Structure 1
Amino acid sequence: MIIVTRLDGRHFAVNPDLVERIFESPDTTLVMADGGRFIVTETMADVIEKIARFRARVIAIAYNAPDDSDDTDDDTDGEVSVPDGRGSPRLSIIHPAGTPGGTNIGRA
Protein backbone atom coordinates (compact mmCIF):
# COMPACT_ATOMS: atom_id res chain seq x y z
CA MET A 1 0.00 0.00 0.00
CA ILE A 2 1.09 3.58 -0.57
CA ILE A 3 0.11 6.48 1.66
CA VAL A 4 -1.37 9.55 -0.03
CA THR A 5 -3.02 12.71 1.28
CA ARG A 6 -6.55 14.00 0.69
CA LEU A 7 -7.04 17.71 0.04
CA ASP A 8 -8.23 18.15 3.65
CA GLY A 9 -4.90 16.79 4.94
CA ARG A 10 -6.06 13.30 5.97
CA HIS A 11 -3.82 10.41 4.95
CA PHE A 12 -5.08 7.15 3.49
CA ALA A 13 -3.59 4.05 1.90
CA VAL A 14 -4.15 2.93 -1.67
CA ASN A 15 -3.34 -0.42 -3.25
CA PRO A 16 -1.07 0.68 -6.14
CA ASP A 17 -1.98 -2.43 -8.13
CA LEU A 18 -5.52 -1.05 -8.43
CA VAL A 19 -4.52 2.40 -9.74
CA GLU A 20 -5.57 2.48 -13.38
CA ARG A 21 -4.68 6.09 -14.26
CA ILE A 22 -3.17 9.18 -12.68
CA PHE A 23 -3.68 12.65 -14.08
CA GLU A 24 -3.18 16.28 -13.07
CA SER A 25 -5.59 19.04 -14.02
CA PRO A 26 -4.45 20.87 -11.79
CA ASP A 27 -5.10 18.53 -8.84
CA THR A 28 -3.72 15.01 -8.97
CA THR A 29 -6.48 12.44 -9.43
CA LEU A 30 -6.06 8.70 -8.98
CA VAL A 31 -8.54 6.69 -11.05
CA MET A 32 -8.94 3.21 -9.63
CA ALA A 33 -9.72 -0.02 -11.50
CA ASP A 34 -13.23 -0.04 -10.04
CA GLY A 35 -13.88 3.50 -11.31
CA GLY A 36 -13.31 5.21 -7.95
CA ARG A 37 -11.51 8.54 -8.01
CA PHE A 38 -9.34 10.12 -5.35
CA ILE A 39 -7.99 13.67 -5.48
CA VAL A 40 -4.68 13.92 -3.62
CA THR A 41 -2.19 16.65 -2.73
CA GLU A 42 0.84 14.78 -4.08
CA THR A 43 2.02 15.48 -7.61
CA MET A 44 1.70 12.83 -10.30
CA ALA A 45 5.49 12.37 -10.20
CA ASP A 46 5.35 11.85 -6.41
CA VAL A 47 2.62 9.21 -6.71
CA ILE A 48 4.53 7.40 -9.47
CA GLU A 49 7.68 7.47 -7.30
CA LYS A 50 5.74 6.04 -4.32
CA ILE A 51 4.42 3.23 -6.52
CA ALA A 52 7.91 2.46 -7.85
CA ARG A 53 9.37 2.41 -4.31
CA PHE A 54 6.53 0.15 -3.13
CA ARG A 55 7.17 -2.34 -5.92
CA ALA A 56 10.93 -2.24 -5.33
CA ARG A 57 10.32 -2.92 -1.63
CA VAL A 58 8.09 -5.92 -2.46
CA ILE A 59 10.81 -7.37 -4.71
CA ALA A 60 13.50 -6.74 -2.09
CA ILE A 61 11.43 -8.48 0.59
CA ALA A 62 10.81 -11.47 -1.71
CA TYR A 63 14.49 -11.65 -2.64
CA ASN A 64 15.68 -11.52 0.98
CA ALA A 65 12.93 -13.65 2.54
CA PRO A 66 14.25 -16.52 4.66
CA ASP A 67 13.37 -20.06 3.69
CA ASP A 68 10.14 -20.88 5.56
CA SER A 69 10.36 -24.63 5.01
CA ASP A 70 9.94 -27.13 7.82
CA ASP A 71 12.51 -29.45 6.21
CA THR A 72 15.15 -30.33 8.80
CA ASP A 73 17.11 -32.77 6.60
CA ASP A 74 20.69 -31.47 6.72
CA ASP A 75 21.76 -32.87 3.33
CA THR A 76 19.55 -30.50 1.30
CA ASP A 77 21.53 -27.35 2.30
CA GLY A 78 18.37 -25.39 3.01
CA GLU A 79 16.38 -26.29 -0.08
CA VAL A 80 13.24 -28.40 -0.12
CA SER A 81 12.85 -31.10 -2.73
CA VAL A 82 9.79 -30.93 -4.92
CA PRO A 83 8.43 -33.80 -7.02
CA ASP A 84 10.25 -32.75 -10.21
CA GLY A 85 13.60 -32.90 -8.38
CA ARG A 86 14.32 -29.18 -8.38
CA GLY A 87 14.80 -27.14 -5.21
CA SER A 88 12.14 -24.80 -3.87
CA PRO A 89 11.29 -21.86 -6.14
CA ARG A 90 13.23 -18.72 -5.33
CA LEU A 91 13.41 -15.23 -6.73
CA SER A 92 16.75 -14.72 -8.45
CA ILE A 93 18.44 -11.97 -10.38
CA ILE A 94 19.82 -12.83 -13.79
CA HIS A 95 22.98 -10.94 -14.68
CA PRO A 96 24.13 -10.64 -18.29
CA ALA A 97 26.82 -13.17 -19.24
CA GLY A 98 30.31 -11.95 -18.54
CA THR A 99 29.45 -9.82 -15.51
CA PRO A 100 30.45 -10.75 -11.98
CA GLY A 101 27.92 -13.25 -10.66
CA GLY A 102 26.58 -13.63 -14.21
CA THR A 103 24.86 -16.71 -15.48
CA ASN A 104 24.67 -18.17 -18.92
CA ILE A 105 20.99 -18.41 -19.67
CA GLY A 106 20.01 -21.65 -21.39
CA ARG A 107 23.19 -23.51 -20.48
CA ALA A 108 23.47 -26.34 -17.98
Structure 2
Amino acid sequence: MIRLTRLKCDDDFVLNAEIIETIEETPDTVITLTSGKKLIVEESMDEVVRRVMDYRRAIFRNFR
Protein backbone atom coordinates (compact mmCIF):
# COMPACT_ATOMS: atom_id res chain seq x y z
CA MET A 1 0.00 0.00 0.00
CA ILE A 2 1.25 3.50 -0.80
CA ARG A 3 0.05 6.85 0.55
CA LEU A 4 -0.87 9.47 -2.07
CA THR A 5 -2.65 12.84 -2.21
CA ARG A 6 -5.62 13.59 -4.46
CA LEU A 7 -5.06 16.58 -6.73
CA LYS A 8 -6.62 19.83 -5.46
CA CYS A 9 -8.21 18.11 -2.45
CA ASP A 10 -5.29 17.67 -0.05
CA ASP A 11 -6.97 14.41 0.91
CA ASP A 12 -4.50 11.61 1.59
CA PHE A 13 -5.50 8.08 0.67
CA VAL A 14 -3.82 4.71 0.57
CA LEU A 15 -3.68 2.79 -2.69
CA ASN A 16 -2.96 -0.89 -3.19
CA ALA A 17 0.13 -0.67 -5.41
CA GLU A 18 -0.63 -4.10 -6.89
CA ILE A 19 -3.64 -2.79 -8.84
CA ILE A 20 -1.80 -0.01 -10.70
CA GLU A 21 -1.79 -0.64 -14.44
CA THR A 22 -0.22 2.58 -15.76
CA ILE A 23 1.08 5.94 -14.51
CA GLU A 24 1.18 8.96 -16.83
CA GLU A 25 2.07 12.64 -16.56
CA THR A 26 -0.24 14.69 -18.79
CA PRO A 27 0.93 17.13 -17.09
CA ASP A 28 -1.00 15.95 -14.01
CA THR A 29 -0.12 12.49 -12.73
CA VAL A 30 -2.85 10.06 -13.78
CA ILE A 31 -2.87 6.55 -12.33
CA THR A 32 -4.96 3.98 -14.17
CA LEU A 33 -5.99 0.95 -12.15
CA THR A 34 -6.56 -2.57 -13.45
CA SER A 35 -10.31 -1.89 -13.13
CA GLY A 36 -10.03 1.03 -15.57
CA LYS A 37 -10.62 3.64 -12.86
CA LYS A 38 -8.37 6.70 -13.11
CA LEU A 39 -6.96 8.67 -10.18
CA ILE A 40 -5.29 12.09 -10.43
CA VAL A 41 -2.70 12.73 -7.73
CA GLU A 42 -0.38 15.55 -6.66
CA GLU A 43 2.75 13.42 -6.61
CA SER A 44 4.93 13.24 -9.73
CA MET A 45 5.12 10.07 -11.77
CA ASP A 46 8.69 9.51 -10.54
CA GLU A 47 7.54 9.87 -6.91
CA VAL A 48 4.71 7.34 -7.37
CA VAL A 49 7.13 4.89 -8.99
CA ARG A 50 9.61 5.40 -6.12
CA ARG A 51 6.88 4.69 -3.55
CA VAL A 52 5.78 1.54 -5.39
CA MET A 53 9.38 0.32 -5.55
CA ASP A 54 9.90 1.04 -1.84
CA TYR A 55 6.68 -0.85 -1.04
CA ARG A 56 7.75 -3.88 -3.07
CA ARG A 57 11.24 -3.87 -1.58
CA ALA A 58 9.73 -3.85 1.91
CA ILE A 59 7.54 -6.85 1.07
CA PHE A 60 10.35 -8.91 -0.45
CA ARG A 61 12.67 -8.05 2.44
CA ASN A 62 10.28 -9.98 4.69
CA PHE A 63 10.62 -13.13 2.56
CA ARG A 64 14.37 -13.49 3.03
What's the TM-score once normalised by structure 1's chain length?
A: 0.57
What is the RMSD of the two structures over their aligned residues, measured on CA atoms? Answer: 0.6
Give distance in 2, aligned partners of 1:23 and 1:3: 18
- Shift of the alpha carbon at 1:21? 0.3
Three-state SS of the structure 1 residue aligned to 2:14 is strand
- Shift of the alpha carbon at 1:43? 0.2
What's the TM-score once normalised by structure 2's chain length?
A: 0.94
Structure 1 moving runs of 4+ over 2 Å: none
| Residue ranges of structure 2 left out of the alignment (5+ in a row) | none
Alignment correspondent of 1:43: 44
| Residue ranges of structure 1 left out of the alignment (5+ in a row) | 64-108
The reply to whether residue 20 of structure 1 matches residue 12 of structure 2 is: no
- Shift of the alpha carbon at 1:61? 1.5
Rg: which structure is higher?
1
Q: Greater strand percent: which structure?
A: 2
Q: Greater helix percent: which structure?
A: 2
Structure with the larger RCO, 1 or 2 (CA within 8 Å, 6+ apart): 2
Give the counterpart letter for 1:34 in structure 2.
S
Give distance in 1, aligned partners of 2:19 and 2:39: 12
Three-state SS of the structure 1 residue aligned to 2:63 is helix
Identity of aligned residues (%): 32
Alignment correspondent of 2:2: 2
